[in-house]
């Protein structure tokens, strides 16, 4: 199909950037989800040359969630990154993500790609806990060029940031001098192992469906009473189906990753019932209360339609 015409090139760009930027404590698992022969041969070559630690082949595409959840549930590592096969990783992205877990042990899900439009998507624990801890605040802190690049890569250049205020201001958590962005997407995210203890035990049998992400990632993270955050710096790009010259240049400039690893603290959670948190957040984010709530959090403009 035309969409997958550059499939091998996309896969190489993704995995080469990942291999170069992994740190020593990483166990790299790759799932071949019904790929063409050329991609399958390339993946097998990576495994045979010990560039990846585990390779799982499926004859047909069984969907992202069913392909990776079974691996995540039995993994021994405390942090598990789930990524699509069209992500370009930047230098030190692992350290950037681990720093969020270090400074915010309440986090259960962290993405290396920030964007200011998902602050109210499965973030009940984040909004409630951070507000009552006094660390929820608006800041103008992310690189707008990187955010627009992401929007363009998923075909939403003209719609994602139609409200320019969302490009300028981000809802964040700030503890001492360290900040993280509230909310994140699914296309690449690192989760605590304990999140998967709350996910369904059976396969979803959904090859392409947002409901699978919801049931196996979004809701389990909420049930675990953990936060959903993103790094302030953009550490990855969405390649899409047609790599551009600037993406290839970024990959070619990657160096061997830093040996630095961070001891991730145990999770820290507020045990207030989720139903109670949900009720309070629903009130705070209602159309009437939200402008006043956002003013309290430091948003100085465009509060009515943010």
Mean pLDDT calculated for residue range 234-262 = 85
CA nearest neighbour of 235 among 209, 266, 257, 261: 257
- Does residue 11 belong to any structural domain of this protein? yes
In this predicted structure, the answer to whether residue 303 has a pLDDT above a threshold of 90 is no
- Distance from C-alpha of 109 to C-alpha of 253, rounded to nearest angstrom: 28
- Does residue 303 belong to any structural domain of this protein? no
Q: How confident is the model at residue 91 (pLDDT cuts 50, 70, 90)?
A: very high
- Does residue 136 belong to any structural domain of this protein? yes
- Reported pTM: 0.93
- Distance from C-alpha of 205 to C-alpha of 63, rounded to nearest angstrom: 8
- Does residue 31 belong to any structural domain of this protein? yes
Q: Which is higher by pLDDT, 260 or 200? A: 200
What are 6-9's contacts with CB under 8 Å, separation 24+?
6/241, 6/242, 6/243, 7/35, 7/36, 7/38, 7/39, 7/241, 8/36, 8/38, 8/39, 8/42, 9/243
State the total domains in the chain. Answer: 1
Domain of 153 in residue numbering reads as 2-296
- Does residue 283 belong to any structural domain of this protein? yes
Cα of 212 vs its chain's centroid, Å: 16
Highest averaged pLDDT of the listed ranges 31-35, 195-199, 220-224:
220-224
Mean pLDDT calculated for residue range 83-101 = 94
pLDDT digits (tens, 9 = 90+) for 109-144: 999 999 889 999 999 999 999 999 999 999 999 999
- Does residue 29 belong to any structural domain of this protein? yes
pLDDT at 76: 87
pLDDT at 66: 87
pLDDT at 75: 87
Q: How confident is the model at residue 2 (pLDDT cuts 50, 70, 90)?
A: very low
- E strand or H helix at 8, and its extent? helix 7-21
Burial category of 128 from C-beta neighbours within 10 Å (exposed 0-12, middle 13-18, buried 19 and up): buried
In this predicted structure, the answer to whether residue 74 has a pLDDT above a threshold of 80 is yes
- Does residue 236 belong to any structural domain of this protein? yes
The CATH number given to whatever domain includes residue 116 is: 3.90.550
């Amino acid at each position: 199909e035309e969409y997958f015409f550059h499939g091998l090139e996309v896969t190489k760009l993704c995995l080469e950037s990942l291999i170069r930027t992994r740190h020593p404590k990483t166990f790299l698992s790759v799932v071949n989800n019904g790929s063409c022969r050329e991609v399958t041969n390339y993946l097998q070559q990576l495994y045979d040359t010990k560039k990846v630690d585990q390779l799982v082949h499926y004859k047909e595409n069984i969907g992202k969630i069913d392909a990776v959840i079974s691996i995540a549930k039995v993994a021994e590592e405390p942090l598990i990154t789930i990524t699509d096969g069209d992500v370009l990783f930047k230098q030190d992205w692992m350290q950037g993500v681990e720093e969020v877990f270090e400074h915010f042990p309440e986090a259960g899900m962290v993405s290396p790609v920030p964007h200011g439009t998902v602050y109210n998507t499965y973030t009940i624990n984040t909004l409630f806990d951070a507000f009552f801890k006094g660390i929820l605040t608006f800041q103008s802190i992310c690189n707008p060029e990187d955010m627009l690049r992401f929007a363009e890569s998923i075909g939403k250049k003209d719609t994602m940031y139609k409200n320019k205020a969302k490009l300028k201001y981000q809802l964040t958590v700030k503890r001492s001098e360290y900040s993280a962005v509230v909310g994140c997407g699914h296309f690449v995210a690192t989760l605590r192992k304990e999140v998967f203890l709350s996910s369904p035990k059976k396969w979803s049998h959904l090859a392409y469906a947002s409901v699978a992400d919801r049931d196996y990632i979004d809701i389990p993270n909420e049930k675990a009473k953990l936060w959903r955050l993103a790094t302030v710096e953009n550490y990855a790009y969405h390649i899409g189906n047609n790599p551009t010259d600037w993406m290839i240049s970024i990959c070619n400039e990657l160096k061997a990753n830093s040996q630095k690893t961070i001891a991730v603290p145990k999770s820290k959670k507020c045990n207030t019932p989720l139903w109670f948190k949900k009720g309070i957040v629903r009130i705070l984010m209602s159309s009437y209360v939200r402008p006043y709530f956002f003013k309290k959090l430091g948003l100085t403009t465009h509060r009515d339609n943010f």
